[in-house]
Amino acid sequence: MIKSYWDEEWKEIDLGEDKLRYNYAVSNYGRIVSYSDSLEKGRLLKGSLVDGYPVFRYKQFYKSENGTRIKNKQIFIHKLVADSFRKRENDDQQFVIHLDYNKLNNHIDNLKWTSKREMELHQQTNPNVLLAREKRKETKPYKGHKLNATQVKRLKKKIFDPKRKTRLKILAKQFGISEMQLYRIKSGENWAHVTIED
């Protein structure tokens, strides 16, 4: 049996004609119920998470060449709540944002329809995004040596120079690569597409 909050409203979820045996309803609190005949006798669904967002999963019939089959489907709960309880102001509003940035808080007062640009601007002030930016500033970039095509050309000219007196080990050190990498470049295993003639 479902106990509703004092101001909780329920609306039936329209899944089309091919739904399976249960009916489903969503509340303005972001809760989902499955029931057969009466909402009060229904069962509260926990749902699952996709990228931190709660989703409602259900099964649907569809007809194929091999007969009737069952298809698994899912809907983001915040989108379901917004579709059921909040009207869009214009057609550009295709995205639903969480005003408090908490993906688990699907109460209708926390949801808002926005355009893509508005959603991107909202994400710029997300505390998690700001924290990730700060962490990125603190981490030192990888100082590994990588060659570009110009450096490989210069290296190959030195390797295949008939008058070369520099050992390969020293050449590898000059270019900041391992001897193994140098031998792979020499044999054509790596950077074969870069030729001296280019």
The 8-class DSSP code of residue 71 comes to E
Report the predicted TM-score, pTM, of the whole model to 2 decimal places.
0.66
List pLDDT tens digits, range 50-100. 999 999 998 887 777 888 788 888 999 999 999 999 999 999 999 999 999
Report the candidate in 197, 105, 113 with the shortest Cα–Cα distance to residue 160: 197
Give the pLDDT confidence score for residue 119 in this predicted structure. Answer: 95
Residues 156 and 160: their CA atoms lie apart, in Å, by 6
Average pLDDT estimate for 95-117: 96
The pLDDT tens digits for 154-169 are: 999 999 988 888 898 9
Q: What are phi and psi of 59, to 5 degrees?
A: -110, 145
